[in-house]
Structure 1
C-alpha cells in the first residue's frame, strides 16, 4: 500500500484545549499528575508481576502486558496535550502527525485484541478449570499476546495510509492529537469512500472482538450460575468484574467517537470523549486491577517483606 504523503499544507496545527489564563497552570498540572500517576501505576503492576511468583498465572501475565501497552498508549497523546495546554495551538509536521495517528490506532486496536484474549483466559479459568493451565500454558499465552500486537499494528496500517494519502487544504486540527475524524475534516476532497473503508476495517476489527467478548462472558455467566454455592459464584464473578469494567469503559468511549460519520459529530465532544479512552482509561486500569484484588495486595505484602529483610540484612 502506498502511503506517500500528498498533503498540500507544510504543517498542521493542533488546536487542542485552550483554557483561560487562570486555569492554564491548574489544567497543565492536573494532566501532568494523571500522566505520571498512570506511568507509575502501570509500571508498578509490571514490576510486581515480575517480582512475585504468586502472580505468575496467565491472568496476571496478560494484565502486565496490558499495563505495558498502556504506558505507550498514554505517552502517544499526552505530550501533545500538555504542549497545547501550556503553549496554545502547536504546529506539527505531517510526518509526525501521521506517525502519531498510526501508533495511536495500532495500540488501541492491540488493546481491543488483548481484552478479547483476557476474556478467553477468564472463560478457560471458569468453564475449563481442570484444563486451564494446559490451555493457557507459557507458549500459548506468549503467542496470544504476540498475535494481538502483530494484528493491531497490521490492521492500523489501512486507516493510517488512507488518511495520509488525502490532500489537505486546511491546517488547523480541532483536536489535541492527530486522529482520524479531525484530520478527515481538513481534506480537500470527498472522504465518503475513506469513511466507509475506515468504518469497515475498524468496525470489523473491534466489533467482532467485542462480540467474542460478549459470547465468552455469556458462557462464563452460564457456568457461574450452575455453581451450587453462593460463595463460589461470588468468587468467580470477582475474578471477572475488573476486566468487565475495563471493557465497558474502553469500548463505550471508543464506540462513541468512531461509530458514525466524522462530519456528523461535534468537534468538542470528540475531544472530551477522547480524554476518556486516551487519558482516563489507562489511568484507571491499574486502580481497577489492584485496589479490588486480594491477590495483588498479598503480593505487595510479600514483596515488601522481602525487601525489608534485604534492607535489614544490609
Structure 2
C-alpha cells in the first residue's frame, strides 16, 4: 500500500524537486491500521525500555567494579553505549510517528538521524569482530593475552572502529543529499539510505556502488573475521578435557554467533539488495531486527549470563539493600 502511495505522488513532485530541495519528509512508518499501530507502539516501547535498562545496567556494573576493568568489558561497555544511542536515534521517532498523524521530519533532523544511525551501525559491526578477536586471544593465546590486548591496543581498536563509522556516514550522507529527489514520502520508519535511493530523480549508481563497497568492506569483512575467530575458539575448546567446560564454552559461542549472524545478516540483506528487488515490508522487518531487537538481546547474551557480571550485580544489589 505504501509502495503505491509513494509512486503515486512521484510525478507531481518531479519538476518541483528537480529545482528545489524539500525542507521535510514524511515517514510512512510501519502501518496505518489503528489497532496494529497501538500494538506496535506498546511492543516497541517495552523493547526500548529493556534496551535502556539492560545496557545502562551493564555500563554501571562495569564502571563500579574494578575487577571488570578488562578489555572484554571495555568493549562490552562500548557496545552497550552504541546500542543505547543507536536505538535512541530511531525508536523515539518511531514511537511518535506510530500514534501521530503528523509523520513529517525536517531535512536537518533526517540528515542527523541518518548520519548517527550509519555511524553507530558501522561501528557496532567492527566492534563485534574486535570482541570476537579479543575472545580468540583470551582462549587461544592465553599466555600472550596481556601483550596482544594491552591498554593501548584495545583503546586504538575502539578508536579505529568509531573513526571508520564516522567516515562511512560522512560519505553516504554527503552523496545521498546531493541527489535530486522526486518525492517527500519515505516508505520506511526512519531515514535510512536504501529507501531514499528510491526517491531519486536520476540513477543513483554512485550511491549504490558506495553502499555495496561499504557493506562489503565493513559488514562482510567484519563477519568473516568474527567467524574465523570463533572457528579457532571452537577448535581450542574441543581440546578441553572437561566436558562441562566444553559445553559451557559451546553454549556461549552459540549465543554470540546467533546474535552476530542476526545483526550482520540483516544489514547485508538490506544494503546489498538491488533497487529492483527492494521490498518496503521486508526492509521494515529487517531494519527492526538490527535497530531494536539486536540491541535488546546484546546485554543479555554477552553480559547478563556472564558469572562475573551476575556476581558483581548481586553484590551491589545486596549492598544497597543492607544500606
* Shared fold per TM-score greater than 0.5: yes
Structure 1 distance, partners of 2:23, 2:245, is: 62
Aligned to 2:237: 224
Aligned to 2:299: 286
1:128 lines up with 2:141 in the alignment: yes
> How large is the RMSD of aligned CA atoms in angstroms?
2.0
Aligned to 1:114: 127
Give 1:132-281 correspondences, 5 Å limit.
132-281=145-294
Aligned to 1:68: 81
Contact 2:111 2:173 in 1 (8 A): yes
Aligned to 1:52: 65
Q: CA deviation at 1:100?
A: 1.2
Q: How many residues align?
A: 306
Deviates more, 1:95-104 or 1:183-192: 95-104
Structure 2 distance, partners of 1:122, 1:237, is: 13
Aligned to 1:3: none
Aligned to 1:8: 21
Give 1:89-108 correspondences, 5 Å limit.
90-108=103-121
Aligned to 1:25: 38
Aligned to 1:41: 54
Structure 1 distance, partners of 2:60, 2:41, is: 28
Structure 2 distance, partners of 1:252, 1:88, is: 33
Structure 2 distance, partners of 1:159, 1:30, is: 31
Contact 1:52 1:303 in 2 (8 A): no
Structure 1 distance, partners of 2:231, 2:82, is: 27
Structure 2 distance, partners of 1:187, 1:140, is: 43
Q: CA deviation at 1:250?
A: 0.6
Structure 2 distance, partners of 1:121, 1:21, is: 47
Contact 1:17 1:88 in 2 (8 A): no
Contact 1:18 1:84 in 2 (8 A): no
Contact 2:215 2:268 in 1 (8 A): no
Contact 1:181 1:263 in 2 (8 A): no
Q: Report the TM-score when normalising by structure 1.
A: 0.91
Deviates more, 1:80-89 or 1:59-68: 80-89
Q: CA deviation at 1:175?
A: 0.4
Deviates more, 1:166-175 or 1:137-146: 137-146
Structure 1 distance, partners of 2:282, 2:223, is: 23
Structure 1 distance, partners of 2:132, 2:98, is: 37
Q: CA deviation at 1:19?
A: 4.2
Structure 2 distance, partners of 1:237, 1:13, is: 46
Deviates more, 1:74-83 or 1:51-60: 51-60
Q: CA deviation at 1:196?
A: 1.7
Q: Report the TM-score when normalising by structure 2.
A: 0.88
Aligned to 2:9: none
Structure 2 counterpart SS, 1:176 = coil
Structure 1 distance, partners of 2:93, 2:267, is: 20
The one-character-per-residue Cα deviations of 1:43-80 (angstroms, maximum 9, x if unpaired) are: 00000111123322221221111001100000111122
Q: CA deviation at 1:120?
A: 0.8
Deviates more, 1:119-128 or 1:139-148: 139-148
Contact 1:76 1:104 in 2 (8 A): yes
Structure 2 distance, partners of 1:206, 1:148, is: 12
